[in-house]
Structure 1
Amino acid sequence: MTAEAAAVAERTRLGLADLPAAALPVIDEAGELARAVDREAADPWDTLRALGQHGLLSAPLPLQVELVHALARRCTATAFSLWGHRSGLEYHAVTGTPPPAGSETGTPALASGMAPAYKEEAGLGEIPLVATDQADGSLAVSGVLPWCSNLRPGSWIVLPVRWEDGRRAIVRVARDAAGVSVKPLVGLAALDGTSSGVLRLEQVAVAPHDVLTEDVPAFRDRARAAFLLIQSGMCPGLAGAALDAAEAAADPVARRVLGAEIEAGREDWETLREDLVRAVEEAADAADAAGPAVDAPGASRRQLVTVRLETALLAGRATRLEQKTVGGRGYALASDTSRRAREAAFLPVQSPTEIHLRHLLAPTGEAPRSPS
Structure 2
Amino acid sequence: MTESTLPAALRDGIDQLIADTLAPQVEAIDHGQFPEAFLRALGRLGGFGAALPIAQGGLGLDLAAQVEIIAQVARTCGTTAFTVWCQSSCVWYLRQSHNTAAQARYLPALARGELLAGTGMSNAVKHLAGIERINLRARREGTGYRVNGALPWVSNLGPGHLLIAAAALDEGGYLMFAVPSGAEGSTLRACPSFSGLEGSGTYGVHLRNVLVPADDVLADAEDFCAYMQRIKPGFLLTQIGMGVGLVQASIDTIHAANRRLQHVNCYLDDQEDDLARELHALLSTTQALARQDQAAPLLSVLRARAQGSELSLRATQSAALHAGAAGYLMSSPAQRRLREALFVAIVTPALKHLRKEIQALEALQAA
Same fold (TM over 0.5): yes
Q: Does 1:241 align with 2:241?
A: no
Structure-2 separation of matches of 1:266 and 1:123: 36
Q: Does 1:180 align with 2:186?
A: yes
Equivalent of residue 359 in structure 1, options 345, 356, 364? 356
Task: Show CA shifts across 1:108-167 (max 9, x none).
Answer: 211111223322332223321111222x43311001112210111111111111122212
**Residue 18 of structure 1 contacts residue 63 of structure 1 at CA under 8 Å; is this kept in 2?**
no
Structure-2 separation of matches of 1:119 and 1:53: 33
Secondary structure at 1:102 match in 2: helix
Could you tell me which amino acid in structure 2 is paired with residue 224 of structure 1? K
Equivalent of residue 37 in structure 2, options 33, 46, 60? 46
Structure-2 separation of matches of 1:332 and 1:56: 32
Q: Which residue number corresponds to residue 310 of structure 2? A: 313
Displacement after TM superposition at 1:308 (Å): 0.7
Equivalent of residue 284 in structure 2, options 262, 269, 274? 274
**Residue 142 of structure 1 contacts residue 203 of structure 1 at CA under 8 Å; is this kept in 2?**
yes
Q: Does 1:142 align with 2:152?
A: no
More displaced stretch, 353-362 vs 48-57: 48-57
Q: Which residue number corresponds to residue 228 of structure 1? A: 236
Displacement after TM superposition at 1:300 (Å): 0.5
After the TM superposition, which residues 120-269 of structure 1 pair with which residues of structure 2 at under 5 Å, given as runs? 120-134=127-141, 136-214=142-220, 215-250=223-258, 251-258=261-268, 261-269=271-279
Structure-2 separation of matches of 1:107 and 1:139: 27
Displacement after TM superposition at 1:365 (Å): 5.1
More displaced stretch, 25-34 vs 325-334: 25-34
Could you tell me which amino acid in structure 1 is paired with residue 48 of structure 2? L
* 68 and 14 in structure 1: CA distance in 2 versus 1, 3 angstrom threshold: farther
Structure-1 separation of matches of 2:147 and 2:263: 60
Displacement after TM superposition at 1:324 (Å): 0.7
Displacement after TM superposition at 1:256 (Å): 2.7
**Residue 72 of structure 1 contacts residue 235 of structure 1 at CA under 8 Å; is this kept in 2?**
yes
Q: Does 1:16 align with 2:11?
A: no
| Residue segments in structure 2 that go unaligned for 5+ positions in a row | 52-62
**Residue 38 of structure 1 contacts residue 191 of structure 1 at CA under 8 Å; is this kept in 2?**
yes
Structure-2 separation of matches of 1:248 and 1:352: 33
TM-score using structure 1 length: 0.86
Equivalent of residue 79 in structure 1, options 78, 81, 88? 81
Displacement after TM superposition at 1:260 (Å): 5.7
Structure-2 separation of matches of 1:125 and 1:188: 22
Equivalent of residue 57 in structure 1, options 48, 62, 65? 48
| Residue segments in structure 1 that go unaligned for 5+ positions in a row | 1-9, 287-297, 367-372
Displacement after TM superposition at 1:82 (Å): 0.8
Structure-2 separation of matches of 1:356 and 1:58: 28
Secondary structure at 1:200 match in 2: strand
More displaced stretch, 342-351 vs 94-103: 94-103
Secondary structure at 1:254 match in 2: helix
Equivalent of residue 302 in structure 1, options 294, 299, 314? 299
**Residue 270 of structure 2 contacts residue 318 of structure 2 at CA under 8 Å; is this kept in 1?**
no
Structure-2 separation of matches of 1:274 and 1:47: 28
**Residue 88 of structure 1 contacts residue 110 of structure 1 at CA under 8 Å; is this kept in 2?**
yes
Could you tell me which amino acid in structure 2 is paired with residue 352 of structure 1? P
Q: Which residue number corresponds to residue 57 of structure 2? A: none
Structure-1 separation of matches of 2:332 and 2:262: 23
**Residue 14 of structure 1 contacts residue 273 of structure 1 at CA under 8 Å; is this kept in 2?**
no
**Residue 164 of structure 2 contacts residue 179 of structure 2 at CA under 8 Å; is this kept in 1?**
yes
Structure-1 separation of matches of 2:299 and 2:160: 36
**Residue 96 of structure 2 contacts residue 231 of structure 2 at CA under 8 Å; is this kept in 1?**
yes
* 138 and 356 in structure 1: CA distance in 2 versus 1, 3 angstrom threshold: same
Structure-2 separation of matches of 1:201 and 1:267: 47
